[in-house]
Structure 1
Amino acid sequence: MIYLVLVVVSLFLTYLIKNYAIKKSLVAHVNDRSSHTTPTPHGGGIAIAITWFIGLIYLYFTKQIDQTLFYALLVGVIISVVSFFDDLFELSAKLRLMVQSLVSLLGLYALGGLDSINLGLFSIENHIFTNIFAFFMIIWFINLYNFLDGIDGYAGSEALFLSLAGFALFGGNHFLILAVAVLGFLIWNWHKAKIFMGDVGSTLLGYNIAIFTIYYANEESTNFWIWIILFGVFWFDATLTLYRRKKNGEKLSQAHKKHAYQRLTQSGWSHSKVVIASIFINILLFVIVYYVSNIFIAFIISLTLLYASIYFVDKKKAFE
């Protein structure tokens, strides 16, 4: 019953935020980086955040979530609030990075850090190294999720997939709470989007995925690679694009439209077609994780799939 209530809450809140944004002219205007062609309300991620934290608190008081995970996820309130103001006032990059660093530290503290990194042939168990790695990973996940929130339904469908995949593999009602929080928003965000997520939603989702990755890696070290595979569509595109831009000598802080999903839309694909293709790849990644027992072989197969996907995009629209 709680899941039905929460999906209605998310759906209704998104509707209210959409109407308020239109009334107050809080819209995302078209610019060189945009993949949309008309000014569209933003801030729909507020509905995701409110619904998510209501559900999270419900799980806590009904003892359906581990306290360690609860407190780590609750730290996400900070990134949500600051990102809300960033959507309104465009905060400085330095302030955003400071806040991201703070929530990364607090999230790691709540989790007790990252215990080890399993590399197959050996494990790294030096806590200084593992926690420095985890710190930067959280910051990278926050930012890359924000980078990949650029076309209708893309960021929302990725979060819905990861939630359902997480529930199927690990159980945990927190995944269902996140799924329904995103679903209510996604109904309004599907092509053509009536409202965008904004930083308030994308940064929170990136933070949540990072926390899930670390939390489940601490339960079983190979779980780290399960989350890396499941999140492959986003991190592979974001990381490879960053590398290519650096190699080209580009200013990395400068806005661009060179991510794979952006180049597909430039090649003539509709937003819906791109999102459906990403869902198909995600399903294949889940199948790889589910059926390939050796997680490192699964990782190699997933990298091959992801590289083949980027190769296909390059043929449709070259990286320039």
Structure 2
Amino acid sequence: MLIFISGFLEDLNFSLSPKMRLILQSLGALGVVLLVPLVLKDFAPLLHLPWLLALPFSVFMLVGVANAMNIIDGFHGLAGGSSLLALGFMYLAAPNPFILAMFCALLGFLVLNFPKGLIFLGDGGAYLLGFVLGASLMDLSLKGVVSAWFGLALMVYPVTEVLFSIARRKLKKQKATLPDALHLHTLLFKSLQDKPRFLNPNALTGLWIVLANLPFMWVSFLCRKHPYALLLLIALFVGCYLKLYAKLQGQTKCA
């Protein structure tokens, strides 16, 4: 509820500072991590965290995924489509009625969200969806169904987007929480605006990125118990992301 409220108040024009939103989200994540529990310690083969470090890191991961989902929620079908694929692969990895219910609910949402955008997730929906995905992936890892790196590999696009955005803003000496129009999806949207008028650049942006991300998600599912393969896949995605970002940024400058 705290995760949802942190965004829903914003949707109702009760503006919260980024700091206050992070506090609410951290409290909500901490409650879930302690009560379930969802303290992820084993990140083999790289490291194994002691409980005192694993607890805040688990909270950080959940809050990070929630915010990552909100960052990519800007075009029809983008956040919803990416999440639908993630839920589908999670269900294939470990059939679960809750995951199936989330999948069906999101499918119903996408019918009205894509391609015309008749309804939206809003900040509240995006935060909650990202949080549920993160918590479910951590749960699968703790049950030994998948490697701890499977969650990052499956959600590598939104996570890369949020981390790259923070790094980019820091290099420009801007606040990490300051919004801008320099995300990968916004640069792609600008390049697609030059296409024929009968094409919807908003829907095309979401569809293009979801389809481009699909092969990485599929391979991550196939390698869900193989941490070395997942780490290699993550590195490959980041490389492709940076190359595509540089290309789109160059096109935008030329335009």
Counterpart position of 1:40: none
Q: Give the alignment partner of residue 84 of structure 1, picking from 1, 5, 8.
A: 8
Which 5+ residue runs of structure 1 have no aligned equivalent? 1-76
Which 5+ residue runs of structure 2 have no aligned equivalent? 194-200
SS in 2 for 1:317: helix
Counterpart position of 2:29: 104
Find out whether 1:294 has 2:238 as its counterpart.
no
Distance (Å, rounded) in 2 between the aligned partners of 1:310 and 1:223: 25
Aligned in 2, Cα 1:115/1:81: closer, same or farther, shift over 3 Å?
closer
Q: Give the alignment partner of residue 316 of structure 1, picking from 210, 233, 248.
A: 248
Find out whether 1:93 has 2:18 as its counterpart.
yes
Deviations 1:173-219 (A, max 9, x none): 21111111112211111133122211110010111122112212211
Are the equivalent residues in 2 in contact too, given 1:267–1:316 (CA < 8 A)? yes
Distance (Å, rounded) in 2 between the aligned partners of 1:97 and 1:168: 32
Are the equivalent residues in 1 in contact too, given 2:150–2:227 (CA < 8 A)? yes
Counterpart position of 2:88: 164
Map 1:100-139 to 2 at 5 A: 100-121=25-46, 123-139=47-63
Are the equivalent residues in 1 in contact too, given 2:67–2:162 (CA < 8 A)? no
Counterpart position of 2:236: 304
CA-atom RMSD, angstroms?
2.1
Aligned in 2, Cα 1:92/1:249: closer, same or farther, shift over 3 Å?
closer
Distance (Å, rounded) in 1 between the aligned partners of 2:65 and 2:109: 21
Structure 1 letter corresponding to 2:56? I
- TM-score, scaled to structure 2: 0.86
Counterpart position of 2:128: 204
Find out whether 1:225 has 2:149 as its counterpart.
yes
Counterpart position of 1:15: none
Distance (Å, rounded) in 1 between the aligned partners of 2:221 and 2:127: 28
Counterpart position of 2:198: none
Which structure 1 residue ranges, 4+ long, deviate > 4 Å from structure 2? none
Q: Give the alignment partner of residue 276 of structure 1, picking from 201, 207, 219.
A: 207
How many residues of Structure 1 are paired with residues of Structure 2 in the alignment? 243
Distance (Å, rounded) in 1 between the aligned partners of 2:6 and 2:142: 29
Q: CA deviation at 1:86?
A: 2.3
SS in 2 for 1:196: coil
Structure 2 letter corresponding to 1:258? L
Deviations 1:150-193 (A, max 9, x none): 11111111111111111011211211111111122111111331
Distance (Å, rounded) in 1 between the aligned partners of 2:234 and 2:82: 16
Are the equivalent residues in 2 in contact too, given 1:260–1:310 (CA < 8 A)? no
Are the equivalent residues in 1 in contact too, given 2:78–2:210 (CA < 8 A)? no
Distance (Å, rounded) in 1 between the aligned partners of 2:147 and 2:156: 14
Structure 2 letter corresponding to 1:285? F
Distance (Å, rounded) in 2 between the aligned partners of 1:288 and 1:219: 21
